[in-house]
Amino acid sequence: MSDQDQFDDIPGTYLFDRHRSRQGYHLNMFFFSLMKPENREAFLADEEGYLDGFPMTPEQRKGVLERDWLGMIKLGGNVYYMSKFGATLGRSFQYMAGAMSGVTQEEYADMMKAGGRSIDGNRSKSEEN
Amino acid sequence: MSDQDQFDDIPGTYLFDRHRSRQGYHLNMFFFSLMKPENREAFLADEEGYLDGFPMTPEQRKGVLERDWLGMIKLGGNVYYMSKFGATLGRSFQYMAGAMSGVTQEEYADMMKAGGRSIDGNRSKSEEN
Amino acid sequence: MARIVGGLATSHVPAVGAAIDLGKTQTDHWKPLFDGYVPAQEWLARVDPDVIVLVYNDHATAFSLEIIPTFGIGVAENFPPADEGWGPRPVPTVDGHAELAWHLSESLILDEFDITMINEMPVDHGLTVPLSLTCGKDSRCEAPEQWPHRVVPISVNVVQYPPPTGKRCYDLGRAIRKAVEAYHEDLDIVVYGTGGMSHQLHGERAGLINSKWDTAFLDDLTRDPERLKSIPFLEYVRETGAEGIELVMWLIMRGALGDDVSEIYRHYHIPASNTASGLIVLEPAA
Amino acid sequence: MARIVGGLATSHVPAVGAAIDLGKTQTDHWKPLFDGYVPAQEWLARVDPDVIVLVYNDHATAFSLEIIPTFGIGVAENFPPADEGWGPRPVPTVDGHAELAWHLSESLILDEFDITMINEMPVDHGLTVPLSLTCGKDSRCEAPEQWPHRVVPISVNVVQYPPPTGKRCYDLGRAIRKAVEAYHEDLDIVVYGTGGMSHQLHGERAGLINSKWDTAFLDDLTRDPERLKSIPFLEYVRETGAEGIELVMWLIMRGALGDDVSEIYRHYHIPASNTASGLIVLEPAA
Ligand SMILES: [Fe+3]
Ligand SMILES: [Fe+3]
């Protein structure tokens, strides 16, 4: 397998490589803008208007408006950028992680307290190990 | 001689090293700000007021107000930053070079047309070669 | 002449910073993690370095996609805590050591490390959480008005693929050691490597923990750094989670300590929010 | 597979850009300089590369003391001409080649070059003047609406001491060659090195010219690059003027061409404003 194929073979993982970086540029720069309190306020006061300042795709915009955390990652978002959006909404990394893995924050927290998601079965799609 | 001593032994030359970079930080950031047309306008409209935004030393401020090109270099200015100040005043690199070497722009241009300043005698203060 | 007197590596989990800032370190949930840091705090207080060279990664805070330095060094007088979306952490501004940082820059660039010199660098949880965790319980730290140690921050890109290789990181550590030993002033220096251990923060695989892999990494930091140097990017991502790649920063610390080291202390705790939290203290062999 | 088909090095004097923009290239003063570029323009038109990898330095324009990358690479789709205090030059936006630039980034970082990846980079005279000078006289260039070639910009810090060494620059060139040769697409690439030759823009020694030293540098670019690799910073500054250190960027171009090269053309003219203006065209040996 090529390097790219090996990366793609890891389940549930979206490498922030050149493809996603280019695809997600404006989405991530929107997230990044939320490090300023005045921008957080402006976004919360008028989401649509604020988003007009960032030439993202309609799908990315929809992901933002719908809080589709996994969808935003698949469209080129990077979790460290996205965490600024999370913070704007009062959502932690753990909340976002729960949402992306399809469980509630409480279920996710319980999984972590029990030792986290097991590596076994999570290494490779093709080898199912 | 140490490296530093060897640099200091070159006549009429001010290496933009860590000492000058730290010394000239706010002076150079003032120069840098003049890359925006609105900042050039603001400076030209109210030099003293504009300079209040940059915590430079009184000597550096005096150098700016008096267009003391060599003085600004000696106080930590770097010529590439300073060129933005030159441009704001309609002054070229060649004008500044003439001013720093103590001649008119015309005399300086004539020297350049005649082949430039000779390297002979300009290598070393101590060895006078 | 300056010298490296010790090394410390620790996870730098943002939720751990929040637990400190919100006064939750003694709750049932958090106490076991924080208790594990006490011996490292005592060690740091005993060693009491003049400067911490703190290797960390910026998490899309000081740097965005606009500019992504592979290695950066903070040469400024100080570094303010960053606003990561929640407002800045209520901790002091970090005092740098500009003279040492510039010396390191000069030495590293002459030594063929293409480091980026940085004066404006708000520092995020990657840098401030390790300071909080190791600052200890003395009066300077309960509600510190000032951090007890000066810091030279060294940033490493691990957010945008490609990050530097483990070997390159280790070699950077060696070059830092060489540069420190050539510094004119008599300074005791501790090097921090931060980030890791296993964690994945994104995607359906979020929450991945591989404690067996982490434990082997901790073991071999002392015993077999040659193995760690050759771990490829793919293995970090597959075995420790996408964000586990931060562990390459521990190799910079390890490289800075010289060939032989002794392990002074370690602590490993699951979970810290999404993460396996690791801590290790090393000293150069006498 | 991509290949490097030629190399070109040229001074990048801002006053030369101004002479072009103001329509003064045929005045008595400027004509001899511009006439000297015609054969290089013809060579470039004949070679007609798909991409120019253009090595230059930013002159406190895109980067300030806030952040100083030792080596940077522009990975964006395009790069606007910068306002250096006179308003931007009236020239087109520079189209990048993001896919190639990202490939180079990945290859170089894996090869232990700690390059900074950059998306937002207004480009100053250091990049646009070489493009204007070599663009030639065809209809695309008299009042170009678009530059004839795509450009991957590579920036080198030569403003803040310490710049990278000549050897490191040469080795970066070699690594660029290796990366180009591993690129999947069939592209012809020309590498530019820019800046120099002897000039000093500041201080009482401003206007320094050392044509004997410059000529030896031009000679040895073909004949003895090993000598050039070992020239120390101090010699550049003392012998060619403080700003003559820009010549290290020519060594990146030279390193990218492989061991053996043929000189196709050269031109040397004094003065271009404060500077000795040099130009050389090289091709890899067949
Ligand atoms: Fe981290
Ligand atoms: Fe230049």
C touches A, CB cut-off 8 Å, minimum 3 pairs: yes
Give the DSSP letter of residue C92.
P
The answer as to whether B113 is a domain residue is: no
C143 pLDDT band (50/70/90 cuts)? low
Distance CA D79, CA D59 (A): 15
Report whether pLDDT(A26) > 50: yes
Q: Percent of chain C having pLDDT more than 90?
A: 94
Q: Tell which C residues from 66 to 95 touch D, by Cβ distance under 8 Å.
A: 66-72
Across the range A36-65, mean pLDDT stands at 98
C78 chain-B contacts, CB cut-off 8 A: none
Report whether pLDDT(B129) > 90: no
Nearest to A112 among C83, C84, C207 (CB): C207
Q: Is D40 helix (H, G, I), strand (E, B) or coil?
A: helix
What domain range is A58 assigned to?
Answer: 3-91
Cα C271 versus chain centre, distance: 19
Catalytic residue of the set D125, D149, D267, D269? D125
D140 pLDDT band (50/70/90 cuts)? very low
Which protein residues have a CB closer than 5 Å to ligand 2 (ion)?
D 195
Report whether pLDDT(D138) > 60: no
User: Do B13 and D242 count as a contact with CB atoms less than 8 A apart?
Assistant: yes
A25 touches chain D (CB under 8 A): yes
The answer as to whether A29 is a domain residue is: yes
Give the chain D residue whose CA is nearest to the CA of A26. D119
User: Do A101 and C203 count as a contact with CB atoms less than 8 A apart?
Assistant: yes
D105 chain-A contacts, CB cut-off 8 A: 18
C239 chain-A contacts, CB cut-off 8 A: 119, 123
Q: Percent of chain D having pLDDT more than 90?
A: 94
Report whether pLDDT(B51) > 50: yes
D139 pLDDT band (50/70/90 cuts)? very low
Chains that touch B (3 or more CB pairs under 8 A): C, D
B112 touches chain D (CB under 8 A): yes
Give pTM, 2 decimals: 0.97
- C3-284, what's its fold? Protocatechuate 4,5-dioxygenase; Chain B (3.40.830)
Catalytic residue of the set D12, D199, D267, D269? D199
Catalytic residue of the set C59, C125, C149, C269? C125
How far does residue B1's CA lie from ligand 2's centre (Å)?
29
A18 chain-D contacts, CB cut-off 8 A: 75, 98-99, 102, 105-106
Report whether pLDDT(D143) > 60: no
Residue D258, both tokens: 């492989």
D touches B, CB cut-off 8 Å, minimum 3 pairs: yes
User: Do C119 and D67 count as a contact with CB atoms less than 8 A apart?
Assistant: yes
Largest CA distance in chain A: 49
User: Do B22 and C98 count as a contact with CB atoms less than 8 A apart?
Assistant: yes
Q: What is the pLDDT of residue C135?
A: 85
How far does residue D172's CA lie from ligand 2's centre (Å)?
19
C14 touches chain A (CB under 8 A): yes
A16 touches chain D (CB under 8 A): no
Is residue C281 within 8 A of residue C130, CB to CB? The reply is no
The answer as to whether A62 is a domain residue is: yes
D13 pLDDT band (50/70/90 cuts)? very high
Is residue A90 within 8 A of residue C11, CB to CB? The reply is no
B91 touches chain D (CB under 8 A): no
Q: What is the domain count for chain B? A: 1
The answer as to whether B83 is a domain residue is: yes
Q: Cis (ω within 30 of 0) for the bond into D163?
A: no
Is residue A34 within 8 A of residue C83, CB to CB? The reply is no
Nearest to B115 among D18, D82, D209 (CB): D209
pLDDT digits (tens, 9 = 90+) for C230-272: 999 999 999 999 999 999 999 999 999 999 999 999 999 999 9
Report whether pLDDT(C140) > 80: no
Domain range annotation of chain C: 3-284
Q: What is the pLDDT of residue C157?
A: 98
Domain CATH code at residue A38: 1.10.700.10
Report whether pLDDT(A73) > 70: yes
Nearest to C234 among A6, A87, A98 (CB): A6
The answer as to whether A100 is a domain residue is: no
Across the range D38-46, mean pLDDT stands at 94
Nearest to B13 among D82, D200, D212 (CB): D200
D56 touches chain B (CB under 8 A): no
Distance CA D264, CA B79 (A): 35
Sign of CA dihedral D83, D88, D89, D93: positive
Q: What is the DSSP string of D177-214?
A: HHHHHT-SS--EEEEEEE--SSB--SSTTTTEE-HHHH
User: Do C208 and A101 count as a contact with CB atoms less than 8 A apart?
Assistant: no
- Determine how many CB atoms are found less than 10 A away from the CB of residue A123: 18
Q: Which ligand is nearest to the CA of A80?
A: 1
Annotated catalytic residue D199: yes
pLDDT digits (tens, 9 = 90+) for C69-126: 999 999 999 999 999 999 999 999 999 999 999 999 999 999 999 999 999 999 999 9
Nearest to B111 among D205, D207, D237 (CB): D207
D136 pLDDT band (50/70/90 cuts)? low
How far does residue A56's CA lie from ligand 2's centre (Å)?
37
B touches A, CB cut-off 8 Å, minimum 3 pairs: no
List, in sequence order, the alpha helices (H) in C79-138: 98-110, 125-135
Is residue D224 within 8 A of residue D37, CB to CB? The reply is no
B1 pLDDT band (50/70/90 cuts)? confident
